[in-house]
Amino acid sequence: MRIVVLVSGSGSNLQAVIDAVADGSLPVTIAAVGADRPGTGGVERARNAGIASFEVDFRQYDDRADWNRALTEAVAAYEPDYVVSSGFMRIVDQHFLDRFPNRYLNTHPALLPSFPGAHGVRDALAYGVKVTGCTVMIADAGVDTGPILAQAPVAVLPEDTEETLHERIKVEERRLLIATLGSLAAGGTGAA
């Protein structure tokens, strides 16, 4: 199974996938890593691992649709079976989703459908939940509304801050993403 991983930041989830592929526990090929801007840690991690990389800098496009078309073509050039959003902080449009139907995976640091959006960890803490977690889903045109493939709970501790809770969620998110990719590679449904 071939994947393209999209990143916007440091690429910690990406590194977990790279490590699992390298140690033989994840039977996928990372065809390429793409970013929405230059200078991301994720692209640097890809280069260090000998993985092809590309950048489709959002700031270089006057129109969001033009950027989406360019991103779609850049990803499609690597012929992925799945595209993985790994801390990719851009919303893709319908053109992209149509090119990779039911094949664009996203992770989210909450147990969806609770706490969608960019601040899932902060929102969970503010609401006062005792358990939150992470979700791997098929991304659709909504904000964190696609079909859920897998979820894992993470307890909220009394002393948690947004940062400490998010770090514990990230550990579980990495495990869940790798398990989900492994299930998909084995012909499963992605439920992990």
Q: Which of 95, 108, 119, 166 is catalytic?
A: 108
Instruction: Clarify whether 108 is annotated catalytic.
Output: yes
Q: Could you tell me how many residues make up the chain?
A: 192
Helix (H) or strand (E) holding 149: strand 148-155
Q: Prior bond to 113 cis, omega within 30?
A: yes
DSSP strand pairing (131-138 vs 104-108): antiparallel
The contacts of residue 131 (CB under 8 Å, 6+ apart) are 111, 153, 154, 155, 156
SS3 content of the chain, % helix, strand, coil (to 5): 40, 20, 40
Write the DSSP string, 102-138.
Answer: T-EEEEESS-TTSS-STTHHHHHHHHT-SEEEEEEEE
Roughly how many angstroms between the first and final C-alpha of the chain, as a whole number?
17
State the catalytic residues. Answer: 108
